């Protein structure tokens, strides 16, 4: 009889030794899923890890990302954990993982910078997590780009003005005499009225460019056309 009990005791102690994990701790598992930001899992650096931070360093776990994107934390003790993906090339959301003493794993979104009690929506347990943003590492220096120069509105206005300057005389020549006379009259008026309002009117830009030292202001009153 005594031998049987001793064998039983031995067996139970053996079982306890073998399966301590089943009694107090659970596994938290999940995987990284590719999305349109992360086209393929092979783009992730091999050294990236996922960490599950508990109240102390001893309660914290780290897992590498396996070839199929999976990660696994073994024997997680009951408690409230912060799950973060440590990745240089992509940004992942942080999650809150609550492990209860009966082995239930609850996963929530979390808002960093708010109270820990402020939970987001609940997520399914084998955690699927995808990046929300890729990292830009570099600023690209903007070199000289003719197209960019041309798309500048100021340059566009200047081009339209130059175009008008060259095209206008030809258009005027093609007009029928009546409208032409009317147009010239109108232009005269407008130039005159402009000239009265323009404070820089005394400055002879054309003369300056042409290198003439003439101080005498030219009168633009008579229109641009020779008669």
Query: Which residues lie near other proteins (CB under 8 A)?
Result: 10, 14, 17-18, 20-21, 45-47, 49, 51, 53, 55-58, 63-67, 72, 74-75, 82, 84, 86-89, 91, 93-94, 109-118, 120, 132-133, 135-144, 206-207, 209-212, 218-220, 222-223, 225-227
Residue 154 or 176: which CB sits closer to other proteins? Answer: 154
| Nearest-angstrom CA–CA distance, 220 and 227 | 14
Least Å from the CB of residue 133 to other proteins: 6
Least Å from the CB of residue 151 to other proteins: 17
| Nearest-angstrom CA–CA distance, 130 and 90 | 9
Asked if 65 contacts 51 with a C-beta cutoff of 8 angstroms, the reply is no
Least Å from the CB of residue 28 to other proteins: 12
Residue 4 or 176: which CB sits closer to other proteins? Answer: 4
Residue 105 or 131: which CB sits closer to other proteins? Answer: 131
- Token pair for residue 121? 């929506």
Task: Taking the CA atoms of 184, 190, 194 and 196 in sequence, report the sign of the dihedral they define.
Answer: positive
Task: Taking the CA atoms of 213, 219, 220 and 224 in sequence, report the sign of the dihedral they define.
Answer: negative
Least Å from the CB of residue 184 to other proteins: 13
Cβ neighbours, 10 Å, residue 93: 18
Residue 183 or 204: which CB sits closer to other proteins? Answer: 204
| Nearest-angstrom CA–CA distance, 213 and 215 | 6
Least Å from the CB of residue 193 to other proteins: 19
Residue 137 or 176: which CB sits closer to other proteins? Answer: 137
Strands 70-76 and 95-99: unpaired
């Amino acid at each position: 009889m005594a031998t049987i009990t001793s064998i039983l005791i031995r067996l139970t102690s053996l079982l306890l030794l073998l399966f301590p994990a089943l009694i107090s701790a659970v596994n938290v598992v999940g995987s990284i899923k590719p999305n349109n930001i992360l086209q393929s899992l092979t783009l992730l650096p091999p050294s990236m890890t996922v960490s599950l931070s508990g109240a102390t360093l001893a309660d914290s776990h780290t897992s590498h990302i396996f070839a199929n994107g999976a990660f696994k934390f073994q024997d997680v003790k009951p408690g409230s954990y912060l799950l973060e993906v440590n990745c240089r090339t992509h940004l992942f959301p942080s999650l809150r993982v609550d492990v209860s003493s009966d082995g239930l794993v609850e996963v929530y979104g979390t808002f960093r910078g708010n109270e820990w009690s402020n939970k987001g929506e609940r997520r399914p347990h084998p955690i699927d997590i995808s990046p929300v943003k890729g990292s830009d590492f570099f600023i690209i220096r903007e070199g000289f780009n003719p197209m960019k120069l041309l798309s500048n509105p100021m340059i566009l206005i200047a081009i339209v003005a130059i175009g008008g300057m060259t095209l206008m005389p030809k258009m005027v020549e093609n007009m029928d005499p009546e409208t032409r006379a009317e147009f010239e009259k109108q232009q005269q008026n407008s130039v005159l009225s402009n000239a009265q309002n323009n404070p820089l009117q005394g400055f002879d830009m054309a003369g300056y460019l042409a290198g003439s030292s003439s101080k005498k202001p030219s009168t633009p009153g008579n229109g641009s056309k020779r008669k």
